[in-house]
Structure 1
Amino acid sequence: MYKADRITQWVSHIFLLILTVSCLIPFIILISSSLTSEESLLIDGYSFIPKEFSLAAYNYLLNNFESIGRAYGITVFITVFGTTASLAITSLLAYAISRRDLPYRNLFAFIVFFTLLFNGGLVPTYLVYTEIFHMKNTIWALIVPGLLMNGFNVLLMRTFFITSIPEPVIESARIDGAGEFRTFFSIVLPLSLPILATIGLLQTINYWNDWFNGLVYITDPSLFSIQNLLNRMLQDIQFLSSSGNNFGSNASSTSASIPTTAVQMAIAVIGVLPILVAYPFFQKYLVKGIAIGAVKG
């Protein structure tokens, strides 16, 4: 029996190792392609190791270093501020509806759950944010639509509070004279680091990768996030590439000098690399938080 268990364990490890390597292959090809010359990509295709090493794609992006740096700064700001505000709002609401003595607790929980099923639609949402709150072409247009609110995160954190925060601990804090806010900040939050890290990582990824809010609400290039800027650069490259086939020799020579495919890969690397670097540090909290928060609804 012991030998069979060891064989099963080895087979499982090998299988998971193969899956891990399979997940890494696209990123390796992505980085390799961004460091390959355009001619080599067109002739030889994609490979794990650049057949003709070239930094032309990154040099092209460095020519727009000022706008890329500004876009990175905007993205970092909205990610940090949005994630922090989202955690504050989500945890406060989740704690409130997790308390069994809250009046109309089930009604509030249903309202949160209802947002998972229905929303107002793009046109009413756009009119509210632009005509009532006047957020168009402001930094808040990149923060608020993703901030209010994610019902899944609220319910996930509520479940964590119900299943993982012992009721006697909260009762003992009340006996010692602690109010709701003191109990929440001094006892509940320190015990909730796994779920906070989990939701914080999910919100960080959402804010970092968000391009839709910028597409809808932002027309000022100085307020572009990194995703919007890279998307705009990609559209410009595609336009120049197509115009080279439609307009004269000058446009054709201009488009030929742009490493189109390699630049697309370099843009993807710039957009995804910070998340890839940060993810391993949050992985253990992500798995633990989701596992504990999903015990029961």
Structure 2
Amino acid sequence: MKKPKLFDLANYTFIALFSILCILPMLLVLMVSFTDEASIKQFGYQLIPDKLSFDAYKLLLFGNTPLYRSYMISIFITIVGTTAAVLMTGMAGYTLSAKHAKYRNHLAIFFFITMVFNTGLVPWYLINLQLGLKNTIFALIIPSLIFNPFNLFLVRNYMSQIPVSLTEAAKIDGATDFYIAFRIFFPLCMPVLATITLFYGIGYWNNWFNAIMLVDNQQLYPLQYLLFKLNSEINMIQQMQSSGVLSGTGTMPQESVKMATAILTIGPVVLFYPFLQRYFIKGLLIGSVKG
């Protein structure tokens, strides 16, 4: 039975209004990043700027900041770290879901304990020092590489739903666990693998804590940490100017820089998500046909 047109119209109206409410904050951030700093102080945040200014982007993109190098570092660690983490989590999830794997329940309990208890910051730091990760590119990858237990159980539970008959049939044909995992389980688990890829990718892209703790070399600063330091320096200059300690340096675009920083940092994630969403839908179709 066809739904009433009035009901469809109400649905479309609600979705349109909800979409506008979701877009407005992002649009506001974008417009404030192009607003003159004096105008922001006088009129506050505006969707239609009283006076346009590109000072924030000039400072970030053309100032004396290694922004492009930090961008490349963040892209590199996000791609390498996410790929390795998803691969590790997928293989561990297959092991814990395999009925023939010995002690898989004991291993599951071991991983579950790590979700409840944390060793703390000092042992984490000392272990990284012992591994020789200080001031290396691996300091931005390996400490976050060990799979998240939540993601592990997410993958394990999804793989547990795959019929055992597929594994048994493959083993009769002489397939190894490696072949079964990569040629049967992983294609069927594309939806959950795409989900944890998004989790790991955003985690690596937004990670600045590892840089604070393990990196002193400015050549290895990721984007998030570089922009964090830049905003801290701008805030310090503003405080010195307001207190009279520093003068004659002009007005620093503090608020617009914050918004421009947000635009620059979320840009790659916003561009990446539609492709991942398509991949997610493709994985659903594959699972529905072959499952």
**Structure 1 match to 2:247:** 252
Name the stretch that deviates more: 69-78 or 170-179: 170-179
Letter in structure 1 aligned against 2:217: D
Letter in structure 1 aligned against 2:34: L
Which structure shows the higher helix fraction? 1
Q: Does 2:168 align with 1:171?
A: yes
Cα pair distance change 1:10/1:137, threshold 3 Å: same
Cα pair distance change 1:6/1:145, threshold 3 Å: farther
SS at match of 1:69: helix
SS at match of 1:160: helix
Q: Deviations over 1:180-206 (max 9, x none)?
A: 111112222222222221111111100
SS at match of 2:66: helix
Q: Does 2:154 align with 1:156?
A: yes
Letter in structure 2 aligned against 1:35: F
Percent identity, aligned pairs only, is: 37
Q: Deviations over 1:234-287 (max 9, x none)?
A: 001001111112344xx2331x33211111111111111111111122235558
CA contact (8 A) 1:82 1:207 kept: yes
* Aligned counterparts of 2:138 and 2:118: Cα–Cα separation in 1: 20
Q: CA deviation at 1:8?
A: 4.7
* Aligned counterparts of 1:7 and 1:122: Cα–Cα separation in 2: 58
**Structure 1 match to 2:288:** none
In structure 2, stretches of 5+ residues that fail to align are: 285-291
CA contact (8 A) 2:187 2:283 kept: no
Name the stretch that deviates more: 151-160 or 216-225: 216-225
SS at match of 1:54: coil
**Aligned residues, how many?**
285
Q: Deviations over 1:72-93 (max 9, x none)?
A: 1110110000001001110111
SS at match of 1:123: helix
Q: How does the TM-score come out when normalised to structure 2? A: 0.90
Letter in structure 2 aligned against 1:266: A
**Structure 1 match to 2:110:** 111
* Aligned counterparts of 1:42 and 1:253: Cα–Cα separation in 2: 19
Cα pair distance change 1:13/1:122, threshold 3 Å: farther
* Aligned counterparts of 1:210 and 1:10: Cα–Cα separation in 2: 43
* Aligned counterparts of 1:151 and 1:272: Cα–Cα separation in 2: 26
Taking the TM superposition and a 5 Å limit, the aligned residue runs for 1:217-236 are: 217-236=214-233
